[in-house]
């Protein structure tokens, strides 16, 4: 139900409490919000004991992207995904590469208040010949009500739905996603709770639980780690990340991404290529079968290889598929079945 101004929407995922307070259980911050105040995300406001989303339909980005840009390499490879975002985020990472729109929790007024109907997003995806809709650029959890409304309509038109997320959804939110969200790329930013608490203002255990529960709920999961020099690039930490992913599933793709200076991290050097290669080798030792290196040019680590015969089955350059040797989702060379979703 839209109320008043077009982008104010009575939220889901909350409970009323005494003194007109509300408990929001959309993300793992589980904010207790006083009347007249907003949660940590800055886009969910308590108005006299009722929680409202301030960004429902407030779309500030609409672009058809290669699905590989999400990055998703094992989900509809070579297709395009209609990518949308609203302002805001429930994390406060100082290295955010989309900080102008994600860290705008106190500046919503600077964005257009134009309301975009969920059906308009689906129509835009169809016009752009996209195979899916991606909720991305900022943190999609904070506009969950809108994302799920779009996702329901997308399903009616045989479009898939994709989250690019920090993985801070509650179990209640993950349950609502299952059956509507087909794939997710989850940022596993570190394997240190201290890092999550000091840098992201979150907790590691919740992200790990989300990865497990999404995977168990049938959502295709790929994981990205932005490797930041001197912060999360130690041998021990990379081993813990790779070990966790391998435990969940050795077929879960791990995207190792190169850091470049941005936002509040301008004094940190770009990640050395040698560090990325070391991380990939650690992942291999831990049993991961599909490891990719991103934010770099001309690397063999962007291609998908068949674990059985070693041949390249998908070649990529600049986040686009340049050649494919798949046959009905299997390796065209040896016939081995591969854990890819191709339709």
Residue 47 and residue 145 in one domain: no
241 in any annotated domain: yes
CATH of the domain at 123: 3.20.20.70
Residue 266 and residue 221 in one domain: yes
pLDDT over 90 (residue 319): no
Residue 134 and residue 151 in one domain: yes
Residue 66 and residue 33 in one domain: no
1 in any annotated domain: no
Residue 185 and residue 91 in one domain: yes
Residue 65 and residue 47 in one domain: no
Q: Give the residue-averaged pLDDT of 227-236.
A: 96
β-strands 220-227, 254-258 pairing: parallel
pLDDT over 90 (residue 262): no
Q: How confident is the model at residue 101 (pLDDT cuts 50, 70, 90)?
A: confident
Residue 34 and residue 130 in one domain: no
Using one digit for the tens of pLDDT, what is the confidence trace for 12-46? 999 999 999 999 999 999 999 999 999 999 999 99
Residue 47 and residue 68 in one domain: no
With pLDDT > 90 as the criterion, what percentage of the chain qualifies?
Answer: 87
CA-nearest of 185, 196, 296, 286 to 244 is: 286
Using one digit for the tens of pLDDT, what is the confidence trace for 177-216? 999 999 999 999 999 999 999 999 999 999 999 999 999 9
Residue 49 and residue 65 in one domain: no
Residue 211: CB partners within 8 Å, gap ≥ 6? 167, 186, 188, 221, 223, 245, 248
Using one digit for the tens of pLDDT, what is the confidence trace for 39-98? 999 999 999 999 999 999 999 999 999 999 999 999 999 999 999 999 999 999 988 888
Please give the Cα distance from 333 to 306 (Å, whole number): 9
Helix axes 204-216, 235-248, angle to 10 degrees: 30
**pLDDT top residue among 263 and 76:** 76
Residue 142 and residue 171 in one domain: yes
Residue 89 and residue 108 in one domain: yes
Residue 142 and residue 230 in one domain: yes
Q: Which domain holds residue 33?
A: 9-53
Q: Give me the number of domains the chain comprises.
A: 2
177 in any annotated domain: yes
């Amino acid at each position: 139900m839209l109320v008043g101004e077009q982008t104010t929407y009575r939220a889901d995922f909350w409970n009323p409490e005494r003194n007109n307070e509300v408990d929001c259980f959309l993300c793992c911050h589980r904010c207790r919000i006083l009347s007249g105040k907003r949660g940590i995300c800055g886009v969910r406001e308590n108005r006299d004991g009722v929680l409202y989303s301030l960004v429902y339909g407030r779309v500030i980005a609409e672009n058809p992207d290669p699905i590989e840009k999400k990055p998703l390499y094992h989900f509809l490879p070579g297709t395009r995904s209609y990518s949308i975002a609203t302002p805001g985020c429930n994390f406060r990472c100082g290295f955010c590469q989309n900080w102008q729109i994600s860290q705008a929790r106190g500046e919503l007024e600077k964005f257009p208040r134009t309301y975009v109907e969920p059906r308009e997003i689906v129509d835009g995806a169809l016009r752009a010949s996209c195979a899916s809709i991606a909720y991305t650029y900022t943190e999609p959890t904070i506009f969950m009500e809108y994302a799920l409304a779009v996702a329901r309509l997308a399903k009616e038109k045989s479009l898939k739905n994709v989250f690019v997320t920090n993985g801070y959804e509650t179990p209640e939110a993950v349950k609502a996603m299952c059956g509507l969200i087909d794939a997710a790329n989850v940022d596993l930013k570190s394997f240190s709770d201290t890092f999550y608490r000091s840098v992201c203002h979150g907790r590691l255990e919740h992200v790990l639980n989300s990865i497990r529960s999404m995977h168990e709920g049938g959502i295709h999961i790929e994981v990205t780690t932005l490797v930041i020099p001197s912060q999360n690039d130690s041998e021990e930490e990379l081993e813990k990340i790779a070990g966790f992913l391998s435990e969940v599933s050795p077929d879960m793709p791990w995207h190792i991404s190169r850091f470049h200076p941005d936002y509040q991290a301008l004094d940190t050097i770009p990640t050395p290529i040698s560090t990325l290669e070391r991380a990939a080798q650690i992942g291999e030792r831990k049993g991961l079968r599909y490891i990719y290196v991103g934010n770099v040019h001309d690397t063999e680590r962007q291609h998908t290889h068949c674990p059985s015969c070693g041949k390249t089955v998908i070649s990529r350059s600049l986040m686009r598929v340049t050649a494919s040797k798949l046959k009905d989702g299997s390796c065209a060379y040896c016939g081995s079945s591969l854990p890819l979703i191709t339709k």
